[in-house]
Amino acid sequence: MDAAGTNTVHHARALWLSTISFTVCFAVWTIFSIIGIRIKQELGLNDTQFGLLIGTPILSGSLIRLVLGIWTDQYGGRRVYTVVMLAAAAATYLLTWAHTYPEFLVAALFVGIAGGSFAVGIAYVSRFYQAGKQGTALGIFGAGNVGAAVTKFVAPFVLVAYGWQTVAQVWALVIGLMGIIFWIFSEEDPVVRARREQNQKPNSAWLELEPLKNIQVWRFALYYFFVFGAFVALSLWLPQYLIKVYHVDIETAGMTAAMFSFPASVFRAYGGHLSDRYGARRVLYWTFFVAVACTFVLSYPPTDYIVRTVTGTVSFHMETGLVPFIVTIFVLGFFMALGKAAVFKHIPVYYPNNVGAVGGMVGMIGGLGGFVLPIAFGALVDLTGLWTSCFMLLFLLVTGALVWMHVAIRQMERGVVGEALKKLPELPEMEEIHKPEHIGALSGSVLTDWRPEDKTFWETSGRAIARRNLLISIPALLLSFAIWQVWSVVVAKLPSVGFKFTTAELFWLAALPGISGAVLRIFYSFMVPIFGGRLWTTLATWSLMIPAIGIGYAVQTPSTPYPVFLALALLCGFGGGNFASSMANISFFFPRAEKGNALALNAGLGNLGVSVVQFVVPIVITAGVFGWFGGDPATVTSATQQAPLWLQNAGFIWVPFIAASAFAAWFGMNDIACAKASFVDQAVIFQRKHNWIMCWLYTGTFGSFIGYSAGFPLLAKTQFPTVDALQFVFIGPLVGALSRSATGWIADRWGGGRVTLWVFGLMMVGVLGILYFLGIKDQPGAFWGFFAMFLVLFFATGVGNASTFQMIPNIMRKEMDRLMPSADAITRQRQAEKESAAITGFTSAIAAFGAFFIPKSYGTSIDLTGGVQAALWGFFTFYVICIVITWAVYTRKGGLLHDIERGGRSSPAVQPAE
């Protein structure tokens, strides 16, 4: 099946003709998903009978795939494809003559011929492409599944305007014309052409069936039973489901069901590309993981809860609304598309001469899922009365597939290491026929050879890979900071949309993400060596969906209990924790000479997420960005007018960007095989006193930055209620982030200890200025003085973020001279670098608690004294202590850094952060 000598134009023509033909065939194959609803009404069918009606063409189309696949291997796809389309056209047209339920079943049986086209197209297209491109080519062909979406988009409108009979007639005409077009413009595949030139006879049907004796073909087909069979079943079932559960009309049901069918079809082409590039096993794993999560959510039936609290009972209702249902279905369909491509990536690799027979068998098993499952869905509804029971069944099915696959893979790999491990197939189903020529044919790329310190390697390939990973990491970290700090804006608007929370409760909401993010940083810093940077970045980015979507729904209902908001605030800490893992991951990619700049870019631009959220959210909540998908606005009354407010957009606006970033991380980043770090090796820092001293000082700089960022919007709102401060609050974090990235040279030039001393002095001035303007806040212009003093604070924290981390490597190099006097210089330097990196990560985790303590201090101060001045005096005292410590321990004559900094021998930070 070598296609090297075939013209590229012929390749493309065969692929696109086959794909368009399959799209038309699939549209005809699923026609009963729309016209069946009207037929059900006319005949008075129950749900089980309806399930049998829409499943019958799926049954016949599945069973015939094996035969059509064999015929394609024997006689060529051009002939068989044309005959299939013309036969399906005749059957679809004759459908309009049926009047009774048995007649409709017989007609549906013959309409199913259109579904058999899949086995024909798979065998036909694969013969035009080499192994390295077959995944992409077959993925593009498989995208013809979008025909189901075409039927759901168009057929409802034709049905309402002209009746279901016209739908059948039009669909029959289209598939008939497509059959004629295919015969005229297509050509024989290379295998059939070569066989005819050599006057060879095709293999007998028994020889074509020979590979089916391998048990792995049947076990492997079970994966397709879910990724394709469940897709077909849901394509047929969803219009009925939407009409019954959400009470929409048939046009809306058809278009909404298409939100599932469209991604589940079109992105199959992308799944083929990903399988070619990253490996089919990874794609299957992600398909099953996401499908488990989606079907679990969709399985949950509408439920009313009554919770007994100390103040009485609290009742609330849980149900998946139409919008979250559509979003979840879209995600499920997308990953099903990837899974379908991953399954069929294997077949031409292992069975190059029997693609038709094997593909037909696998397709038949998958198609049978499209027949069996709709019947089971209808029966479950009749038996249980639960419409969500269909998703319960799918949840059990995909969970079983995932567990079985994972256990089988681990059993296959047990005890195998090194080169022998690389020689194993991706899936145990293929182990019996895995040969030397198959090794590596399906696996994706992991960086097993990574030598950034080798200049030749770095210049030729390393730098491009490292920069790509950095460019993907930066927006992911920016989104993490945005989610971490989104409450800083949301809490200021909650009273406006009807929530009756006290000021202290609002400050708690602003503060909780800080404490959860700080705690998670401690754990996240160890995740990259365990899971791999690519996988963990993807998981950590996807986790941001939970608080983003949760906030979007929670703020729409003023009756949402306060504990729900507390939980969402804690979940926003996922964003804060991501910093530690992001920095650890990027540090592995760059050589020592470029590590500092790369980490500064990652951290500094990631910090911009704080400013971005405070700039973007006040804008997007004033407009219906998502239309009816985003829900209705709340009406906010100001002094003289009323205006709509879509506070839910504060959460929803990040959802598409999180999804895009997570996909980019999974498909664009790399894992480094040698990226390992021992916790025991790093734990020595807990014995170093300077670790704890730097935790205190860095809390004074970064802790202040993140804490002021979290608390400033609500503080400004409570102290200057007549000023719309939300349109300005983003400037503070912006100044802090930019000053951190732009002033590192100052610490390099003058010494981190000396600059840190000046920073804390400037921060004391800023706090005193804020106290002054709060004292005259009723006077004109007081807010602008208050705001200017906060900008001074933000600027100082940014400079301090750089200077404190500039201190750490110099401190540890000096300490190693004392702690390891008998070691040689190289050993002391390596130990200093290792401990400096560990201290950097740990101090960043401890300092992140500032995001909790500063907003909480405001709230506590208001509760106890009626104002925030007590909290500010506490911050002033803290900075005084920081100055004393910095001077006494590091910068005074005789201090640890005095000779280094006064002598101009300061060294750049090993791992600058934040």
Q: How confident is the model at residue 1 (pLDDT cuts 50, 70, 90)?
A: very low
**Max CA distance (Å), the chain:** 102
Can you tell me the distance from the alpha carbon of 549 to that of 18, in angstroms, rounded to the nearest whole number?
Answer: 40
Is residue 588 a contact partner of residue 675, using CB atoms and an 8 Å limit? yes
Q: Give, in degrees to the nearest 5, the angle at Cα 12 between 8 and 16.
A: 175
CA distance 296 to 396: 9
Share of the chain above pLDDT 90, in %: 6
Whole-structure pTM over 0.75, yes or no? no
pLDDT the model gives residue 200? 66
Arithmetic mean of pLDDT over the chain: 77
Burial degree of 8 (CB within 10 A; 0-12, 13-18, 19+): exposed
Mean pLDDT of 404-432: 69
CB atoms within 10 A of CB 332: 27
pLDDT for residue 856: 76
Instruction: With residue 379 as reference, give the H or E element that holds it.
Output: helix 355-384
Per-residue confidence (pLDDT) for residue 357, from 0 to 100: 62
Q: How far apart are CA 84 and CA 25, in angstroms?
A: 9
Q: Taking a C-beta distance cutoff of 8 angstroms, is the pair 375, 232 a contact? A: no
Tell me the pLDDT band of 224, cut-offs 50, 70 and 90.
confident
Angle between helices 101-111 and 77-94 (to 10 degrees): 160
Distance CA 443, CA 663 (A): 19
Contact present, 73 and 211 (Cβ < 8 Å): no
pLDDT score recorded for residue 884: 94
Pairwise CA distance, residues 700 & 693, whole Å: 11
Rounded Cα–Cα distance for residues 711 and 699 (Å): 16
Is the separation of the CB atoms in 271 and 134 below 8 Å? Answer: no
Contact 87, 176 (CB under 8 A): no
Q: Count CA atoms closer than 13 A to 167's CA, side-chain side.
A: 27
Distance CA 3, CA 375 (A): 43
Nearest in space to 782 (alpha carbons), one of 865, 719, 713? 719
Q: Report helix, strand or coil for 61.
A: helix
Assign 429 a pLDDT band (cuts: 50, 70, 90).
Answer: low
Q: Which is more confidently placed, 514 or 437?
A: 514
Q: Which has the closest alpha carbon to 506: 497, 9, 211?
A: 497
The pLDDT of residue 300 is above 60: yes
What pLDDT, on a 0 to 100 scale, did the predictor assign at position 745? 66
pLDDT at 834: 65
Give the residue with greater pLDDT, 744 vs 648.
648
* DSSP-derived 3-state class of residue 336: helix
Q: What local confidence, expressed as pLDDT, does residue 139 receive?
A: 67
| pLDDT for res 563 | 81
Weakest-pLDDT range from 27-31, 102-106, 557-561: 557-561
- Please give the angle made by the CA atoms of 111, 112 and 117, to the nearest 5 degrees: 115
Looking at the predicted structure, is the pLDDT value of residue 269 above 70? no
Q: How far is CA 592 from the centre of its chain?
A: 31
Distance CA 660, CA 674 (A): 28
* Residue 755 in this model has a pLDDT that exceeds 60: yes
